Amino acid sequence: MNTRKVVYLFFTTLIIGSISGAIVGVLLDLDTYLDGGFLNFLFGLLWMLGISAAISLVAQMGFFAYLTIHRLALGLFKSVKLWNRIQVILILFVLFDLIYFRYLAYADGDETIFGYMIMPFLLLLYSIIVAYFKMRDTNKRTFIPALFFMYVITTIEWIPALTVGTVNDSKWLWIYLAPLLTANTWQLLTLHRLTGDQKEKA
């Protein structure tokens, strides 16, 4: 992949992540943006674009970090099947953590754990769908790595929103998650098209 394609992937990911985060942020708090007039809306929109751009940069760092880890793991374990099994175990571990530890940290006395299962399972479902499209465009060996990237790496990138006590507000969780998901989805489904290698495993 040449420099032009790397630059293309960088800027398109940045733009897509920024716009998606800004749209979600404005829609989730539309009254606040509309009540103060045009300038309030404009500056609020620019603020959301800036936050979303920063989050999309985190997504890009996570993507290239996973590409490196993936290659190193394949060399270390000498077996695609073994590395895939480890990734599946880590996916299940992260799913458990997202549910149980957030429940312990944030649940009030009258809340049940079921309310904390919705977002992790929705994220898992979305990750499965994206991994399926990656597999369809490339080959069946890419499904587990793609699922791992979309679920585990996205969750790691999402940790700042999950660990700040005041951000248990679902609005901010979605504001952080939207640019991560769109940026990671775009990167994952675009890379093999840029490289022209339909056997790409990342």
Residue with tokens 């754990």: 113
The predicted-structure confidence for 111-121, as pLDDT tens digits, reads as follows: 788 888 999 99
Residue 108 pLDDT more than 80? no
Residue 93 pLDDT more than 80? yes
Predicted local distance difference test score (pLDDT) of residue 107: 77
Residue 23 pLDDT more than 60? yes
User: Would you call 167 helix, strand, or coil by DSSP?
Assistant: helix
Between 71 and 111, the higher pLDDT residue? 71
Residue 18 pLDDT more than 90? yes
The predicted-structure confidence for 130-145, as pLDDT tens digits, reads as follows: 999 999 999 899 999 9
**Over the chain, what is the mean pLDDT?**
89
The pTM assigned to this predicted structure is 0.89
Over 33-102, what HEC string results? HHHCHHHHHHHHHHHHHHHHHHHHHHHHHHHHHHHHHHHHHHHHHCCHHHHHHHHHHHHHHHHHHHHHHH
Residue 162 pLDDT more than 90? no
Q: Identify the burial level of 182 via C-beta atoms within 10 angstroms of its C-beta, where 0-12 means exposed, 13-18 middle and 19 or more buried.
A: buried
